[in-house]
Amino acid sequence: MVPFPPGGSSDILGRLIAEHLGKTLNANFFVDNKPGGTTQIGTDFVAAAPPDGQTLLLGAASSFTVLPHLRKLHYSIDSFECAGGIADYIAVMAVRKTLPVKSVKEFIAYAKENPGKLSFGSAGEASAGHVYGLTLARDTGTKFLHVPFRGSAAAVNALVAGEIDFIIDGAVTPMVKADRVEPLCVMYRKRHPDLPKVPTLHEAGFDISTSKGAGWGLLAPKGTPASVMDKLSEGLEKVLQQKSVQDALIRANSIASWQTPEQFRQATAADYKMNGELLPSIGIRGS
């Protein structure tokens, strides 16, 4: 189960893992998209599924580190068994071609000269792109209008059409490579392997106080037999060691980052604590 719409980075990643994990374990995996509620609907579905090893979740870390601060959920990270962490997310900040800026420094200066006039799109309320945008605004003293979309693909299309001014999302990478939008920086500790000329935000002279990666893990309903989880964990680790998979993940705007189940839980707990302080400070509060 992929709790995102088709076409975005998470969907591509989920299908890639399903294909290669199936080959490694000599099993058939079928991908189903169940978007909505910024991953809540699909995540809820898997949490309530029978723990028989037949239903798995491409779990976004934000489902457990962001959403619990915003609304009452029927699940938590303890509602799942974990096979391991999969990858880190590489978000790219890009602006529409007609915006008269070529760097983050120029962008910030332009935004300060035009307070509240620039809009940014995201995959939805409290998505990684939304959090990045509001954190950038807070830490640079700027103001932006947030425009939520039903998934990253729709937001990218709006940017290309000039309907919004900028985006911070990995799904924009193909449009950067096609020269349809202007890249400003990468929100990651290293440069995007497919965009080697685009600086990191730190290299561009800025840092914002948010997580540098929004990871994914492979999860199953609580109570799924340990024998099943061990097999999935071993298979997942093997898959992520394959060079072809690592290269394919880059094309899905992510970096292979194997974590044991315990490491994934520890990282999730740390990000949960960080977001508990970050989200209220940028104006994202629970209902």
Q: Give residue 210's pLDDT.
A: 60
Residues 118 and 177 in one domain: yes
Asked if residue 201 is part of any domain, the answer here is: no
Residue 24 lies in a domain: yes
Residue 273 within any structural domain of the chain:
yes
Number of compact structural domains in the chain: 2
112 occurs within a structural domain: yes
Query: 42 and 59: one domain?
Result: yes
102 plus 181 within the same structural domain: yes
Question: Are both 143 and 123 inside the same structural domain?
Answer: yes
* 35: alpha, beta or left? (left if phi > 0; alpha if psi -120 to 50): beta
**Residue 36 has what pLDDT?**
86
Domain co-membership, 107 together with 49: no
Pair 275, 229 in one domain: yes
Residue at 206 is within a domain: no
Same domain, 155 and 169: yes
| Domain final position from 187, 222, 249 | 187
The model carries a pTM of: 0.86
Residue 205 resides in a domain: no
pLDDT of residue 65: 93
In this structure, are 78 and 128 located in the same domain?
no
* Residues 61 and 114 both lie in one domain: no
State the CATH number of the domain containing residue 96.
3.40.190.10
Q: What is the pLDDT of residues 261-274, one digit of tens each?
A: 999 999 999 999 99
Q: How far apart are alpha carbons 43 and 34 in whole angstroms? A: 9
pLDDT given at position 213: 45
Q: 178-215 burial string, b = 16+ CB within 10 Å, else e?
A: eebbbbbbbbbeebbebbeebbbbbebebebebbbbbb
204 part of a folded domain: no
Nearest alpha-carbon partner for 43 in 68, 25, 8, 19: 68
Contact predicate 102/182, CB 8 Å = yes
DSSP string, the chain: -B-S-TTSHHHHHHHHHHHHHHHHHT------B---TTTHHHHHHHHTS-SSSS--EEEETHHHHTGGGTS--S--GGGEEEEEEEEEE-EEEEEETTSS-SSHHHHHHHHHHSTTTEEEEESSTTSHHHHHHHHHHHHHT--EEEEE-SSHHHHHHHHHTTSSSEEE-GGGHHHHHTTSEEEEEEESSS--TT-TTSPBTTTTT---SS-S---EEEEEETT--HHHHHHHHHHHHHHHT-HHHHHHHHHTTEEEEEE-HHHHHHHHHHHHHHHHHHHHHTT----
Query: Residue 62's domain is classified under what CATH number?
Result: 3.40.190.150
Range of the structural domain that residue 137 is part of: 91-187
Judge if 96 and 134 occupy the same domain.
Answer: yes
Residues 67 and 98 in one domain: no
Query: Where among 187, 222, 242 does a domain terminate?
Result: 187
272 in a structural domain: yes
Q: Are 69 and 279 in contact (CB under 8 A)?
A: yes
Sequence-separated (6 or more) residues with CB below 8 Å from residue 84: 217, 218, 232, 233, 236, 237, 258, 259, 260, 261, 263, 264
Residues 175 and 258 reside in one and the same domain? no
Spans of the chain, pLDDT less than 50: 212-213
